[in-house]
Amino acid sequence: MQEILKLFDVVPNLQLLCIGKEIQKVSNLLQEGVKPYGGQVDEHDLKEEISLDMVLPNRKYEACVLYNLNYNDSNFVRYF
């Protein structure tokens, strides 16, 4: 997880969102990494396929970490 944390600047109160299946593995480790700086990691565990109806908070998070997703899902939209 240290490799993922290196992608982000060390800033106070860093807000990250983790989305995926079995996301607790990742979010717990990331939380330990941002905790000393007052950061927070929230999670959205996908127990089913990706839904276009999924609504997430706007502008609360500096970054989103995607984990264990089905990139072949018809609702997955690539942004990169």
Task: Give the tens place of pLDDT for each residue, 30-71.
Answer: 999 999 999 999 988 877 666 656 666 677 888 888 888 766
The pTM of this model reads: 0.73
Give the pLDDT of residue 51.
Answer: 62
**What pLDDT does residue 32 have?**
92
Report residue 39 as tokens: 């950061």
The answer to whether residue 2 scores a pLDDT higher than 60 is: yes
Residue 79 has pLDDT above 60, yes or no: no
How far, in Å, CA of 48 to CA of 7, rounded?
Answer: 28
User: What are the boundaries of each domain within the chain?
Assistant: 12-67
Question: What are the tokens at 68?
Answer: 């264990």
pLDDT score for 11: 87
Q: Fold for domain 12-67? A: Rossmann fold (3.40.50)
- Whole-angstrom distance, CA of residue 33 vs CA of residue 27: 10
